[in-house]
Amino acid sequence: MSALDALRINKVDFIISDIGLPDISGIELTTRIRALEKEEGKVHLPIAGLSAHATDDTIREARTAGMQCVVEKPLTNALLMQLISELIAPIANETDHIENAPLNSAFSVDKFPLLDEGAGIALLGSPDVLNDLLTILINDEIPTAKKELNEVYALHDRQQLHALSHKLKSGAIYCGTTRLQQACQALENYLKGHDTALDEALYTQLLTVIDQTEAAAIAWLKQNK
């Protein structure tokens, strides 16, 4: 049975494809999968490429074909868990294509803490450094991010929205603001595809989490003067 046949008859959440398959390359397989999804009106499945020695040209070709990322072998349990966390998305049915579709549990970030103090201190080395970064976050990064996100979203510029969510996520990782990190990641991953049904819901979720994170950071700073 071919991979395409398997996709037609099985429910799949995401795909990991070796770049160097013996019959056709993983890149060619991705191209065929994207064509099939377009033909059948389906949402793009997340696809990760697996390679022993991927060059920049190979990675660029893979992304052009429709892969979300290319990772190096071996595929360890830790790497697999990371891919699942970053790429997994539900297969959308026809109702997923309505405007402003609601989020489901696969995209919800409510289970993540607003501020993981222990994780932030472990990454930064001390509470004082966490204090400094959270101060920068609420005084500089969040006001700037909210302004830029609103401007870009009003223009329906998905590429710039992706870039801004990635930038905000980078700062959130080091501050221990886990829910903000995950909200950025959810929007960023979705914007890699072509479906737009959840754009507004994921964008609204991010704005909500930004406000929640700001409040949590202010409360923590007051308690740790």
- Residue 16 backbone dihedrals phi, psi, to 5 degrees: -115, 120
pLDDT < 50 positions in the chain: 1, 89-102
CA atoms within 13 A on the CB side of 200: 10
The pLDDT of residue 88: 62
- Asked if residue 124 and residue 43 are part of one domain, the reply reads no
- Asked if residue 137 and residue 86 are part of one domain, the reply reads no
- Asked if residue 86 and residue 121 are part of one domain, the reply reads no
CA atoms within 13 A on the CB side of 186: 28
pTM of the model: 0.56
Which domain does 146 fall in, by range? Answer: 117-223
Q: Does residue 213 form part of some domain?
A: yes
Which of 59, 67, 1, 60 has its CA nearest to residue 32? 67
- Asked if residue 121 and residue 219 are part of one domain, the reply reads yes
- Asked if residue 128 and residue 201 are part of one domain, the reply reads yes
The pLDDT of residue 92: 36
Domain CATH code at residue 77: 3.40.50.2300
The pLDDT of residue 48: 87
The pLDDT of residue 72: 83
The pLDDT of residue 134: 93
The pLDDT of residue 161: 94
The pLDDT of residue 100: 42
- Asked if residue 31 and residue 123 are part of one domain, the reply reads no
Q: Does residue 61 form part of some domain?
A: yes
Domain count, the chain: 2
The pLDDT of residue 104: 54
